[in-house]
Structure 1
Amino acid sequence: MIGLISIIAIGFFLGMRHATDPDHVIAVTTIVTQQRSAKRAAMIGIFWGVGHTLTIFLVGCAIILFNLVIPARLGLAMEFSVSLMLILLGGWNLASFKQAIPGSAGADREHDHSHDHPHSHETLDKLDRKLGQRSFYQLVRPLMVGIVHGLAGSAAVALLILATIRNANCAIVYLLVFGVGTIAGMMVITMSIASALRFVGDRFQVFGRRLALVSGIISVAFGLVLAYQICVVQGLFGSAPHWTPH
């Protein structure tokens, strides 16, 4: 009984710690900078965590129960998908910042349609302009981002569990608790970002645009560095790729 309680406690707090990984925070920040509501930001964090947990649980269970071995090239490809996603999310934020600049074509269009679409300045690109006002889209986007991140980290989490927990049932319980901790951690992060944006009050629009610009630049830069590390240093497209889950 004490062993199970320890697994639950450790899994939960390590899950919260996992949510603070730089690539996770950067990715979710590019989305949350478009939100002022702490409640909506919390939902973004929750759905990111659900997507992340779903992938880690499915892949982790396959590794634990069937001793699944992930080839180095496949593992690198899963991590490479994260770098592409970071570049894409950062690019969307940079495009949003450009459209919001007074005098730009995007800003003029938003001004012309401000009465019909009062929140159009929050959209990121053409897809956002079409779907940005639909609640399902606002939740599906962080869900998909979380799923991609889960792909990159699932092998490392499962292998760590196998090295410390021999019982398969306990290992699966750990995966679930780890996921709950990740959801809680990301919810705290997204709510904190939204609260900081709300704190600046009337200056939110200017502050939000600048934060979107900074988060976009960091996201693109981090994604490019990660892509270089995976493709060149670790040899994703080479003849002898080498990969260490982390």
Structure 2
Amino acid sequence: MTEAALSVISFLFLGFFLGMRHATDADHVAAIATIVSRERSVAGSVLIGAAWGVGHTVTVIAVGAAIIVFGVVIPPRLGLSMEFAVGIMLVLLGVLTLTGMSRAARAHAAVRGTHELDVHDHLHAHGDYVHRHPHGHGPGAHGHADERTPLARLDRSGLSRTAFYGWLRPFVVGLVHGLAGSAAIALMILSIIREPVAALGYLLLFGLGTIAGMMLVTLILSAPFTCTAVNLPKFNWRLRAASGLVSLFFGVVLIYGIGFAEGGLFTEAPIWKPH
């Protein structure tokens, strides 16, 4: 094996490990934490991480292949818009998490009028939807009707016909995040590897590394949420609130930076520096 071939192989494996590191970027962790905060099993959290990684990889390979193979040039305003979409997504995830907790708080208030001994907090089921909130078993003491659960709403929307609709959310979030970094990754590859096939191989290994890294990240993140869901519900509540606030904060910072500060997306002369 020639020295040049060894260099290419080494660089390809470097792509895998850089993909794993890429999964730990702050905006990625903030986004996945808001989704994992609702998960009650470690295995489910790992699958969520895999779905996010697959979505991210699909976008990176699609955009990267267009740049590497066809020489597509990304205009500054389009590049900034792709990164701006990540900020919007982070804000949306944070708002969804916090509003979901607000609905749970209203459910708690709805059962305060019942006798204190009748109100309790434990995991309970509505069909195959399992969740927890303070409730009682008397008339009007539950806080919501069976048909008002999130799963019941999704079932009515028709999404339940797809076996993977529970993973659709992290997959879409991964797609959006992949848009933001795909151009920068492809341009970096082109500056080092001129052979399109080798460059595409790097992209693929980078994507596989991102999937593995995000599965590891979600495994680590899910541990505190899973361990505190039953035994420390108040602390679990604070963790969920923190994940929503962190996602909201990072989203607002990205929106301001890309739209109005150094990026200048909404100015006459936007400046895009792929990173």
Structure 2 length normalisation: TM-score?
A: 0.80
**What corresponds to 1:180 in structure 2?**
208
Shift of 1:106: 10
Equivalent of 2:126 in 93, 97, 116: 116
1:103 aligned partner, one-letter code = H
Kindly, what percent of the aligned residue pairs are identical? 47
**What corresponds to 1:100 in structure 2?**
104
Where does the alignment leave 5 or more consecutive residues of structure 2 unmatched?
A: 114-120, 134-147
Taking the TM superposition and a 5 Å limit, the aligned residue runs for 1:41-52 are: 41-52=45-56
**What corresponds to 1:5 in structure 2?**
9
Q: CA RMSD in A?
A: 2.6
* Partner SS state of residue 119, structure 1: strand
Query: Conserved in 2, the CA contact under 8 Å of 1:19 and 1:185?
Result: yes
Equivalent of 1:24 in 21, 28, 53: 28
**What corresponds to 2:95 in structure 1?**
91
**What corresponds to 1:154 in structure 2?**
182
Query: Conserved in 2, the CA contact under 8 Å of 1:36 and 1:195?
Result: no
Structure of greater Rg = 2
Query: Conserved in 2, the CA contact under 8 Å of 1:197 and 1:208?
Result: yes
Query: Conserved in 2, the CA contact under 8 Å of 1:99 and 1:106?
Result: no
**What corresponds to 2:255 in structure 1?**
227
Q: Report how many residues are paired.
A: 240
Q: Does 1:57 align with 2:57?
A: no
* Partner SS state of residue 241, structure 2: helix
**What corresponds to 1:79 in structure 2?**
83
Tell me the distance in 2 between the aligned counterparts of 1:195 and 1:172: 35
Give CA deviations for 1:159-211 in whole Å, capped at 9, x if unaligned: 11011111111100000000000000000010111223333473253333211
Tell me the distance in 2 between the aligned counterparts of 1:139 and 1:96: 18
Query: Conserved in 1, the CA contact under 8 Å of 2:125 and 2:131?
Result: no
Q: 1:190 to 1:15 in 2, by over 3 A?
A: same
Q: 1:241 to 1:121 in 2, by over 3 A?
A: farther
**What corresponds to 1:245 in structure 2?**
274
Query: Conserved in 2, the CA contact under 8 Å of 1:99 and 1:105?
Result: no
**What corresponds to 2:198 in structure 1?**
170
Query: Conserved in 2, the CA contact under 8 Å of 1:32 and 1:190?
Result: yes
Q: 1:130 to 1:136 in 2, by over 3 A?
A: farther
**What corresponds to 2:153 in structure 1?**
130
Query: Conserved in 2, the CA contact under 8 Å of 1:100 and 1:106?
Result: no
Shift of 1:231: 1.0
Normalized per residue, which structure has more helix? 1
Q: 1:231 to 1:128 in 2, by over 3 A?
A: farther
1:116 aligned partner, one-letter code = H
Tell me the distance in 1 between the aligned counterparts of 2:112 and 2:15: 47
Normalized per residue, which structure has more strand? 2
Structure 1 length normalisation: TM-score?
A: 0.89
